[in-house]
Amino acid sequence: MVHFLHMTYTTKTFDLPVLTGLSEKQIKVHLGLYEGYVKHANLIMEKIKALKETDAEGNSYLVAELRRRFAFEFNGMRMHEYYFSQFEGEKGGDPASALAVAAAKKYGSGEDFIKHIKEVAGSRGIGWVVVYYDPSAATLHTVFVNDHELGQLAGLPVLLALDLWEHAFMVDYVPAEKKNYIDAFFANLNWSVVEKRFEEAAKRIAA
Ligand SMILES: [Fe+2]
């Protein structure tokens, strides 16, 4: 049996300004949920280790299922880190940024890019809207990811993550008001965070 280094993830803190249309209680509840993902990502790694050390052969089915489960906890953790950090800092955004140029190339204009994200966000059901950049094709992709452990685009850097699980807005809005939540998301989104992610993604060497 291979013994490998055991590590744990630490819950990140987010320096959030006062948000428009998203209450403190809503954010607190949602951050609590994020903390749960971090805790459980760590727990799964611990449990796998313990099960293997106790009886690797006898516990092989349990370990295999926990390995499958890991992406649910890990992606839940990471997607919320993308989500909350988008609200940090002084709200900025440069209409002439490299991201704006890439968005205009694919969607026509910056406004059409936002219009498209909102259209995808209007899909029925829970999930995430994720905007990725594919450096190998120099293009953006706007995807609806139903379950965050499934349907993500492999290896592509995440530029924007819009949480559309009901827990993200149900403290402040009823399900029929999802559109208002989406508007609130954009009212608070710090585009300069997204632009920075794009710049870093664009630096990646094409595969
Ligand atoms: Fe969430």
* Interval 106-134: pLDDT, tens: 999 999 999 999 999 999 999 999 999 99
Q: How far is the centre of ligand 1, averaged over its atoms, from the C-alpha of 29 (Å)?
A: 9
Q: How far is the centre of ligand 1, averaged over its atoms, from the C-alpha of 163 (Å)?
A: 5
Q: What is the DSSP string of the chain?
A: -----------------PPSSS-HHHHHHHHHHHHHHHHHHHHHHHHHHHHHHHHTTTTHHHHHHHHHHHHHHHHHHHHHHHHHHTT-SS----TTSHHHHHHHHHHSSHHHHHHHHHHHHTSSSS-EEEEEEETTTTEEEEEEESSTTSSPPTTPPEEEEEE-SGGGTTTT--GGGHHHHHHHHHHH--HHHHHHHHHHHHHSPP-
Residue type, 4: F
* pLDDT per residue as tens digits for the range 129-160: 999 999 999 999 999 999 998 999 999 999 99
* pLDDT per residue as tens digits for the range 9-25: 999 999 999 999 999 99
Q: How far is the centre of ligand 1, averaged over its atoms, from the C-alpha of 169 (Å)?
A: 9
Residue type, 54: T
Q: How far is the centre of ligand 1, averaged over its atoms, from the C-alpha of 98 (Å)?
A: 29
Q: How far is the centre of ligand 1, averaged over its atoms, from the C-alpha of 54 (Å)?
A: 35
Rounded Cα distance, 48 and 55, in Å? 11
Q: What is the pLDDT of residue 115?
A: 97
Q: How far is the centre of ligand 1, averaged over its atoms, from the C-alpha of 142 (Å)?
A: 18
Closest residue by Cα to residue 114 from 100, 128, 96: 100
Q: How far is the centre of ligand 1, averaged over its atoms, from the C-alpha of 60 (Å)?
A: 31
Whether 6 shows a pLDDT value over 90: the answer reads no
Q: How far is the centre of ligand 1, averaged over its atoms, from the C-alpha of 170 (Å)?
A: 11
- For 62, the token pair is 């349990």
Q: How far is CA 107 from CA 12, 71, 132, in A?
A: 34, 31, 14
Q: How far is the centre of ligand 1, averaged over its atoms, from the C-alpha of 26 (Å)?
A: 11
Q: How far is the centre of ligand 1, averaged over its atoms, from the C-alpha of 11 (Å)?
A: 15
Q: How far is the centre of ligand 1, averaged over its atoms, from the C-alpha of 67 (Å)?
A: 22
